[in-house]
Amino acid sequence: MKFLCLPCDEVMTFAERQLPGDGTLSAVFACPGCGREMAMLANPMETQLVSSMGVQIGGRGVPEQPLEGTRRGMAGGRPDAFEEVAEPSAAAPEVSAMASPPGAAGAAPSWSPEAVERLQRVPSFVRGMVKRIYADYCRERAIPTITPEVMDRARTDLGLEGM
């Protein structure tokens, strides 16, 4: 899907994505010529269709996890279906291999007790994957500690609602 700014005859480019948390998607596109902005508002079915493709409009914020589309999409998965081995994502091995100081880009973030408690409320079918996603999110943004507030921000940025 592309959007054309008719006065400029220019293709509008992606500028911003918002996930209100109600299953819908809002994406802002702007004309590089005149700066005019427009928002594409997708209903839940349209949003689900895009999500089912395993892609995110505006790009992925963190590396994709193994079977992520399946695990995110399935309802009622078996709680003990997966055992996560505690190691950083291979999707970003060059990042994970770095022995960076806390808070530096690439450093493994720590978890606050409140964040750990909240993570325990995530269904175990996806908990290990979600944990990796939060860690990758913080690692790439040089966030040293994962707190509930950071989790809220990541959920909004990455579209993790419901997990």
Q: Tell me if 54 contacts other proteins by CB under 8 A.
A: yes
Q: Tell me if 44 contacts other proteins by CB under 8 A.
A: yes
Candidate list 7, 35, 87, 121; residue touching other proteins; CB under 8 A: 87
Contacts of 47 (CB under 8 A, 6+ apart): 23, 24, 25
Candidate list 34, 38, 39, 55; residue touching other proteins; CB under 8 A: 55
Q: Tell me if 123 contacts other proteins by CB under 8 A.
A: no
| Half-sphere exposure in the Cβ direction for 41 (13 Å, CA) | 2
CB of 21 to other proteins, least distance (A): 14
Q: Tell me if 38 contacts other proteins by CB under 8 A.
A: no
Q: Tell me if 159 contacts other proteins by CB under 8 A.
A: no
Distance CA 27, CA 36 (A): 14
Binding region for other proteins (CB under 8 A) out of 7-15, 101-109, 111-119, 144-152: 7-15
Distance CA 126, CA 130 (A): 6
Distance (Å) of CA 36 to CA 2, 9, 23, 49: 15, 12, 27, 28
Nearer to other proteins, 93 or 148 (CB): 93
Q: Tell me if 99 contacts other proteins by CB under 8 A.
A: no
Distance CA 140, CA 61 (A): 9
Q: In 3D, which of 126, 125, 127, 143 has the Cα closest to residue 135?
A: 143
- Interaction residues for other proteins, span 67-86 (CB under 8 A): 67-85
Q: Tell me if 41 contacts other proteins by CB under 8 A.
A: no
Candidate list 20, 21, 33, 93; residue touching other proteins; CB under 8 A: 93
Q: Tell me if 49 contacts other proteins by CB under 8 A.
A: yes
Q: Which two tokens stand for residue 151?
A: 């989790």
